[in-house]
Each structure stands twice: as structure tokens, then as C-alpha cells.
Amino acid sequence: KQRPANENKLPLAPAEPPPRRFAWMLPMAVVLLLAVGIYVVTKLRNPSNAQFSNTTSSRLAPTENQQITYSDFVGSEACAKCHQKEYSVWKASTHGQAGGAPGEMKVIAPFNGQPLHFRDGTVTPTINTRHEYVFVIEQAGTPKVEVKAEAVIGGGHMNGGGTQSFFHKFDDGTVRFLPFDFIKRENLWFVQVRRDMTWQPVSTDLSLAQDLANWPPRRVLGVTSEFSNCQNCHGSQITTQYDPAAHRYETHYQSLQINCESCHGGGRRHIEIVSRKGSTRSVDIGMKPLATLTKEASVAVCFQCHATKDMIREEPYLPGEPLEKYFSVKFPQFEETYTADGRVRNFGYQGNHLYSDCYLNGSMTCVDCHDPHSQQYRDVWGKPLAGRFDNGQCTSCHASKGLSPEQHSHHKSDSAGNLCTSCHMPYLQHRGIGQHLHFARSDHSIPIPRPAFDHNLGIENACQNCHGDHDLAWQEARVREWYGEIKPQHPMVANVLKAKETADFHAAAGLLLSPVENHPIAQAEGLIEFLKLLGKSETANVPRFTQPEIENDPQILRQLLNLANNSDPDLQALALAALHLGFADKSEAAQLCAGKLAILPSDDPVRSRWAVAEAYRGDFFANQRDPRNAVYCFKHSLQVQPASVVTLSHLAMAYLNMDAAADAQDTLKTAIGIEPWRGVLHFQLALTYQRQQNNPEAVRELQEGLKFAPDDASANRMLRQIQGQ
């Protein structure tokens, strides 16, 4: 969906001799006024000029650097007093119906008393005598337990496969996901399976105790490294923090709907300002007007939830704060979330819009197609459209394609193939879900159909979606017959793919670190793939973190030094990680890394990413049973963020796998000194003592950890086993 240079210009009228002197001035004035009007409207809707936008934003919202707290949020009902129209359409939208307590939220799953049969037990969704929605769990050898569904999230709204999930508030203060989901399309209950994390219908082939990924429940609402978590998306202003004094977690949220302040930020100060006499003359309205945001800032509002993202800072995130200080949307590429061109490889959301031509080479944001209040569809001028498949989403920019859609699509006017979305935003099954249940999402990277290329990437191409009865050669031939030579891939995408087929380290590194810009996910993948080239040990005792062919290559060093000053915090951090791990003995690299560490604050987004990138590399080696290189990476990560208890925990485990129990214990004691309330650190230290057959110390650490996490099943089981010996 690329916009040719002249596509949006109106055709010129045939020239005619002027009937009188200066007659050209009136039409010229009209043209100029129209041009200025269009320019201003475009800037107000979606300004791409950063200076214009930043000036406007700072004038209207001077509170940007103020600390945001939970008390700044007042709830959607407070907004309704002045914005009744917007509130009403929001209330009926999927955001307004995203979640809540049973009763507030429509329960579409059948709580009808029909048991779900597993190999080793049953789960019965039912409504008890207190009119509560509950799951009754019966397993052999354990007492029957009734778990209340206190929160409902999702209503089967999604077109490609909608689901409904349930949550329970546990005694430790966490709100946890109950691993029994309902899918509307297939009308059945399903679970996520531990061995491959795919979704499967409940059946007697599955073991409740052994096969379910989240049983006992361990995924929590809110952002915390202590548990698998749902982050901050399935509700509004979700925070989960441990209270050491109370020995429990505190989970707060305004609502399980996606409320006004999820996008607009806290409303308390705005209400205070507009309630004052004479407020209409004030340039400060107490919140940032979203219509004036740059395209980068605009999509970031939506990517709070609609993007796969990695936590880089374990503190509660609240809307209005810079997203990049807390999360990275490119670091999921460490787990190969995307293909080189930005399509979803395993499981993702709509964040890959960042890698579309419409965004990279145009100005398209989420709200150019989606009405932010109703979640209905509209064109770039705000005109409502009939639905998600209306070609007006595309032809409002690509006007020439709308004049005769059949000539461009080569499909009949009344066929699905004549819809822009069928070819450029096809619904693709997310492979991470598996094939048991339908879960397809529209491809927001907005690619052009490339049957052979897509097949090589393992992506179901758009032609295959409708023409699965024809082979790949037929599909490729049709595309070339209709459109001629297919548009080449972005050079950085091509470089990354070529590098993966290149055996020579020097050549591969040169491709992966190419200075080609303007494709952030391909650049990120290039740096991540380069990091994977590093890490060969020359001897068993001396970790050597560079390949000889690379470490003495001045071009590779120069490319990394340039990338280490990139304006993108993800790319900058990845380059710094590569320099720090592989080239620290080179004076230029050492000076740059030392200089960055000297000036970057501890909570700086680049510094946080830098440490996480090196820790990711350590995890890779740990998973490859290479603890020596893992230790090397974790130590370097701790040079960047010394107080990271997560990295200290991983370092201790690597030491333990090297049979260096004393080092593991010292590392864990350091971590406990930083955050003594983390029960998992005490349990890990107990494990190191147990490995040394020091049971008294192991018992002491287990008991200490259980003060903070008394319900931890593994720790209680371990304590019983040691005391029973």
C-alpha cells in the first residue's frame, strides 16, 4: 500500500486562453487557499512535522515531565459529564465492553454445569447457589475446589476468532488468569498446552496437572517479572506491586474496560482546569490533545496494548508516560516474533504496522482507519465507512485505485478478491496458536502479495487464502502476469535474508550491520542476528566473545559505532551490547561504552535496553548449555544495570550449572540484599544449599522465602521433602 508520488494530485484542466487581463489571479488564489486548507487539516489530523507538533503539545500540555500517579485518573464517568457523545459511542464499543465482573460483562461461555473432562480430572463451569460464576475442580487425590471467576475479559468480538477469559483474585493480592478459555467461533472450551504453547480444545487426551501451561494459575494482571503476566492491556490503569510490609501484592485498576484515560492519560488535572472560571481562554487544558501528535506518538498510544512488547523497566506503567521508558516493541524479535519484513511469525498484535510502507514512507496511523471512540472504520478524512472491508480505507489515499478497482485487482467487482484488504491485509492464522482453533488476525504490515517470497518465509500468502486449490507456481504466475516484475523488498530486509544464507562470518556481518535505514525491524533483526554470531569459546576456560574474522575488521567496528549513536533506542542499545560484549578491548568501543555508561541515567531507555539485550544473550547461552558464555554476558549486563535482581538470579543459575555453588550463593545474597522480599530469590538460594547437601541452610531460606510467598507450591513441596528426609 505504497503511495506513488503524484497519486493524490487532481488532474489538471485543459489550458484555455484567459478571457481578460489578470483573470488567472482568482483561480490561483482559490488553488492556494485550498492547498493551505488541506495542509492545515492534514497537519491537525496527523502532523508529520515534529517541530509543529512538539510546539503545539508543549504549549497545551506543559505537564509532560510531571510524575504521573494513580490518583491522576478519575474514570470514564467523569469524562461523560462534558463529552457525552464520545462517551456514548465508546460505551457501546469493544473497548467499552472489553471486560468487567460477571453481570457487568456479558458471559458468552456456557456455565451450565456440563463438566470438561481431562485425563486426570474434571473442571465444571457452573453458577453456584450464591449466583457466582465458578469452576469446580476435581482431581484424583486432591480435595474438590471451587474457584470463583471474579473478572471476565473479552466477549468474542474479534473477527478472526474471538475468545473470553476469566480471572480470580488470589489471597496474595494478585489477579490471575484461569486457564479455561472459551472461543466463540467454535463454541467450545479450550486450554493452552505447555509442551508447545498452542491452543487445543479440552479433551481426555490432556492432563490437567501435566499439560496445562497455566495450571495452577500463575499468569497475573499487571507487569511483574515474578510471574508470567498479561502486562497492562486487559483493563485500564492496571498496576501490580509487592508490598513488603503487608507481605502481599497490591493490584489496582480503574476498570477492566479500556477507558478514556487509557488513551488520553489522567483526567484529574484537565477537569480541575476546565472547571475554573475563564478556562476557555487558557492554553493549558491539562492533557495532551491527541489530534496534534506526530505519527510516532500517535501509534505509541495504541501500542500501549496493540503491540507485542518486552518489559525493560519493572515499575508500574501508567498512560501518559513515555512507552519507550518501560517497554520495547522490537525486543520481542529476540524470540523471533516477526519475519525480516515485519510479518507476525508466531504470535503478535497490530504493532507490525510500524513496518508497513504506509507508515514508513507515508503518514498512516491507527486512527486514519479506526475511529478511536467507536472502534468503527473510517477513511483518512474521518468519513465513516461501512465496515472493516470497505475499500474507502485505502482509496481515500490511493485515489487512482478507486476509479476502477477491478483493473487493479483483476477480480470481479462483487468478489472478495476486489477488496483491498483481501490482498494487502489478509487474515492470517497465527502459527503460535497452532491449527486446532481459528485465530487469524489482519496483517497490519500491509504487504503486497509475493507468493514465492512469502512461501519461503513460511507465511501463508494472500493468494493462497482464496486460491488454495492452485499451486504456488500458478499463484506466482498470475501476480507476474498482472503486475509485471514484483516490487523488490526493502534493501535491509534483503540483506538480513541473504546473511542467513551466508556461511562467511565477515560477509554475513557486513550485511547484518548495513547502514541501510528506514526499516526498524529489519535493522533490529540484523543486530540481533549479529549478536548470535558472537560467542565462540576459544578454549574451555577462556570465554572469547568474538570471531577472529570479525574482531579485527575495521568496517564492522565502524558500522557498530555508527549504530550506537542511532536515534532509535532499540537499535542504539543493540549496537552498544554488541560493542560491549565483543569489542570492549578495542579502544574506540571501550571509550564509547564507558562514555555512555557515565552519562546515561539508570532509568534511561537506552541503558535499560542495553542491559536487557546482554541478558537475553546470556539466556541464549544458558539454554544452549553453555554456562561459561552465559556468565560472561550476565556479568556485562550487570555492569550496565548493577541492581537488576532478575539478571543476578540468572547469573546465579549459570554459576550453579558450572558447579560454582559458592559464586551462585554470593550472587543470590547480593540480589536478596537489593530486594529481600522476592521469595523466588530465597527459594533459589535454598536450591544451591540443597545441591551442596546443606539442608539446614536450605530450610532456613525456604522458610524465609515463604514469609513473602506463602502459597508457592514448589517451595512448600521442597520444604516438606527436606524435612521428611
Q: Tell me the C-alpha distance between 354 and 446, whole Å.
A: 10
Predicted TM-score (pTM) of the model is 0.87
**pLDDT, average across residues 319-345:** 95
Half-sphere CA count of 161, side-chain side, radius 13 A: 21
Q: Are 248 and 226 in contact (CB under 8 A)?
A: no
- Tell me the pLDDT band of 113, cut-offs 50, 70 and 90: very high
pLDDT digits (tens, 9 = 90+) for 245-267: 898 999 999 999 999 999 999 99
What is the structure's pLDDT at 106?
A: 93
- Tell me the pLDDT band of 536, cut-offs 50, 70 and 90: low
pLDDT digits (tens, 9 = 90+) for 3-18: 233 332 223 233 333 3
**pLDDT, average across residues 668-685:** 96
- Whether the predicted pLDDT of 567 surpasses 70: yes
What is the structure's pLDDT at 4?
A: 30
- Tell me the pLDDT band of 37, cut-offs 50, 70 and 90: very low
**pLDDT, average across residues 589-610:** 95
What is the structure's pLDDT at 547?
A: 64
- Whether the predicted pLDDT of 39 surpasses 90: no
Please name the helix (run of DSSP H) or strand (run of DSSP E) that holds residue 639, with its range, or none: helix 627-640
DSSP SS3 for 720:
helix
- Written as nine digits, the cell of 274 is 476546565
What average pLDDT does the structure give for the chain? 88
Q: What angle do CA 680, 243, 147 make, to 5 degrees?
A: 75
DSSP SS3 for 534:
coil
pLDDT digits (tens, 9 = 90+) for 390-415: 999 999 999 999 999 999 999 999 99
What is the structure's pLDDT at 516?
A: 83
Q: Are 519 and 493 in contact (CB under 8 A)?
A: yes
Q: Residue written as cell 492491556?
A: 233
What is the structure's pLDDT at 415?
A: 93
- Whether the predicted pLDDT of 452 surpasses 70: yes
pLDDT digits (tens, 9 = 90+) for 139-152: 988 899 999 999 99
- Whether the predicted pLDDT of 513 surpasses 70: yes
Percent of the chain with pLDDT over 90: 77
What is the structure's pLDDT at 278?
A: 84
**pLDDT, average across residues 205-212:** 95
- Whether the predicted pLDDT of 160 surpasses 50: yes
Q: 162: closest CA among 215, 211, 106?
A: 106
- Whether the predicted pLDDT of 450 surpasses 80: yes
- Written as nine digits, the cell of 3 is 503511495
pLDDT digits (tens, 9 = 90+) for 614-655: 999 999 999 999 999 999 999 999 999 999 999 999 999 999
What is the structure's pLDDT at 277?
A: 87
What is the structure's pLDDT at 77?
A: 95
pLDDT digits (tens, 9 = 90+) for 350-374: 999 999 999 999 999 999 999 999 9
Q: 387: closest CA among 366, 370, 373?
A: 370
Q: 242: closest CA among 196, 299, 174?
A: 174
What is the structure's pLDDT at 549?
A: 60
What is the structure's pLDDT at 543?
A: 54
What is the structure's pLDDT at 515?
A: 83
